[in-house]
Structure 1
């Protein structure tokens, strides 16, 4: 996956390597051709901020934290595509102008949180000086809780910062410090920004994971929800079913059908459990059908490597009824034979397939395709056997034409009746057939001609 950017006066094509989620940030890692330069494209809650070429990442930086502790998805994952597909990166905003915009549109602590993502490119002291100024303003105004929260976010970002460490233990803030020792569930509504930092860090713990999921949903951060569920699918086999359901529920409720199809198609290629894979298959085919994309549904089902389950066979039959043509080179009898279809399903499939076979191929090809079913005493199979036997017998062409008609193959039936009429030109029954079939085809002139001949023969007989 590639994106185009303008870095100053230079247009660049970047190859996306992956995407990271952490505490509201989305950071895209990308490279110029031949991996000569690495770029990071920064988002906050799906809103693009800017991009920076990056030769070296500070170990104690927020960017390093995002890359080492964040949720990673590859460039081929549709989650990356959902974020990037509508973005135009031209030109990349400078940090100085970005900082002005962020301070204008976000509360002080959140503005600091956003800009700290760029502490690889700017001095920490410049960021912290902004927080010092905000802290002093709140303290002078007697807003000690706000002042305490500023110290708290500085220490979340930079735990060894001496200025914040020396002030936060002051007795003026003791009652707030005790408040922050509360259970995570109680502290979350009290300081959501601080708690999300904790939740992301500790999402390996199920209680923290559930709280993080709840927070993301409440704030409608659905792309982050998808990334979180995707990560959990592969971490704990016991929770696979739970997070698969959360993922598909979120897809259906918050994303368009085409995005759902893209994501489920991708998910099907992943190393899921057999049960989860079966669920993905059913949901994907159901989506195709609801969108009337019957060919895609049929191809997906017919190309499965595992035997189709009974309910998948039902879906296959449903799509077959909505298709005019089928590629019988790709779709073989083995798909049905190796499935868990019962005899009634096999019968329905054969009844639906034979007219399509005869419409696209001759009787010999159709007979050979159906050979694996020849042991079944089904009416349609018995008719195909009979047709194969009589196809070259001149005196049985009228009978062959009648069988073709039973399979809705009117042009083939006409050919047989015309052949028969060449040998028995006074056969009134064959003429009646031709009048009927030409009328069905809407060829009124031919029907009238044979109607006239029919009446003339009736008079002379």
Structure 2
């Protein structure tokens, strides 16, 4: 039985000379950076830090410490949990080699600006001692100061202060007289001007305050030029924008760069956007799922929108209902009841009766009779035989003189243990009556308990012989 719409993302980790298989658990984004958490076959957790879609560093962690960059990204950033098709798009390479830790910063110098390295250092506090990272940032700060680059040195000391607010030297430097004009310049109202000289600052600032409409708009404009995937995720995070048909069409075009149209329809369904109203191609996607026998995947995509589907989806709903496993239907019973109410009048009562019968068999394995009856109340209007039987059984529960009848009902629904209980009750009330004994024997036969069935068969034959002699 299908239980998930999406398949997990698998990766390979090369740690020294060892190759490790793992599955992605989740990924979280913070502006230009992201963290990927994976779980190995040995239940070890690895975390990988990326900057501008390039792997910076990662390794096994037994615990994510509170207050670290990884902790902040997973609690305050945009998180995508597994399984999800956009996870694969977020990870540039599904084969990861862990960089040499001792050579890491010398290698970063060949790829990134000093300011970027200062920022990247702040993302690595789960793998390096904080003092070691502060030393890296300090070196960059003093390099700019010695060269007379006061603007850049101010930018770096801001990074240092954000990373370690309790650091006395960072606070003192931030308030140096030489930096007065830069402090005045770095005001939230001046973001567009700051953007020209310090886009990294603006991106981080806007991302942190991304639910502010003005800053969100600026962030989206920045992402539009730099990272369309993160822009897409930002849109998926915004419940208000998800209701605007123009943006749905716009981001559908963006999404098709990263996922298939089928996956995109499923993603929209998960965030409660009705693709079946907004995207005409969705119908063809659903029909293809059904042709491939993916009935439950189709159901998981469609069920949230029962009652808000075009009439052209009636046949699709019928096919989903007819072909979904009973246990799957029960797991989504409320939604399927809504689907049943949408079925066209041509749906055959016999076919409907058979499917509900299969559901009742499973429900009675998990719940008491009265609970099953209550679950089926919303579909009593269908006037099906199976519903009438359950109603009769509930009435018989209160009548100890009709336990044989109740036992027969339980047997019809393949609930042999409950049937045996009913027949035992009758056997105790009428110890000379062979009928309940015969039925107990049959129930044990159905359960595959041959010796017990044979024992009661002997008792039955003795009672029957005694009855004939009398």
Q: Same fold (TM over 0.5)?
A: yes
Contact 2:85–2:259 at 8 Å: present in 1 too?
no
Give 2:38's aligned residue.
30
* 1:125 aligns with one of 119, 125, 131: 131
Query: Within the alignment, does 1:282 sit opposite 2:283 as a pair?
Result: no
Aligned twin of 2:21: 13
Q: Summarize deviations over 1:150-183 as a string: whole Å, max 9, x none.
A: 1111122222222221112111110111001251
Match of 1:224 in 2: 230
Q: Is the 8 A contact 1:29 1:38 kept in 2?
A: yes
Contact 1:17 1:31 survives alignment (8 Å): yes
Deviation at 1:280, TM superposition (A): 5.8
Give the unaligned 5+ runs of structure 2: 1-7, 325-338, 347-470
TM-score normalised by L of structure 1: 0.59
Matches within 5 A, 1:151-300: 151-183=157-189, 184-219=191-226, 221-233=227-239, 238-242=240-244, 246=247, 248-253=249-254, 255-256=256-257, 259-268=260-269, 270=270, 272=272, 276-279=274-277, 282-285=280-283, 295=291
Q: 1:51 to 1:314 in 2, by over 3 A?
A: same
Count matched residues: 318
Q: Secondary structure at the match of 1:105?
A: coil
Which secondary structure state, in structure 2, belongs to the residue aligned with residue 17 of structure 1?
A: strand
The whole-number CA distance in structure 2 between the counterparts of 1:247 and 1:186 is 31
**8 A contact 2:25–2:37 mirrored in 1:** yes
Instruction: Pick one of 146, 151, 155 that aligns with 1:149.
Output: 155
1:42 aligns with 2:49: yes
Secondary structure at the aligned position of 2:280 is classed as helix
CA distance, structure 1, for counterparts of residue 29 and residue 248 of structure 2: 16
Counterpart check, 1:53 vs 2:60? yes
Matching residue of 1:452:
none
State how far apart, in whole Å, the 2-side matches of 1:24 and 1:127 are.
19
Question: 1:206 & 1:121 partners in 2: Cα distance?
Answer: 35
Query: How far off is 1:107 after superposition?
Result: 0.5
Deviation at 1:49, TM superposition (A): 2.9
Map of 1:415 onto structure 2:
none
Correspondences of 1:364-403 after superposition (within 5 Å): none
Question: CA 1:155/1:9 → structure 2, altered by over 3 Å: closer, same or farther?
Answer: same
Kindly report the root-mean-square deviation, in angstroms, between the aligned alpha carbons of the 2 structures. Answer: 3.8
Taking a change above 3 Å as real, the CA distance of residues 280 and 77 of structure 1, as seen in their structure-2 partners, is: farther
Question: Secondary structure at 2:64's aligned position in 1?
Answer: coil
Measured in 2, the distance between the counterparts of 1:189 and 1:247 equals 31
Q: Deviations over 1:10-59 (max 9, x none)?
A: 32222321110012112111222363x22102222222333210123333
Q: Does 1:84 align with 2:91?
A: yes
SS of 1:12's partner is strand
By relative contact order (CA 8 Å, sep 6+), the higher-ranking structure is 2
- SS of 2:95's partner is coil
> TM-score, normalised to structure 2's length?
0.58
Change (3 A) 1:105 1:71: same
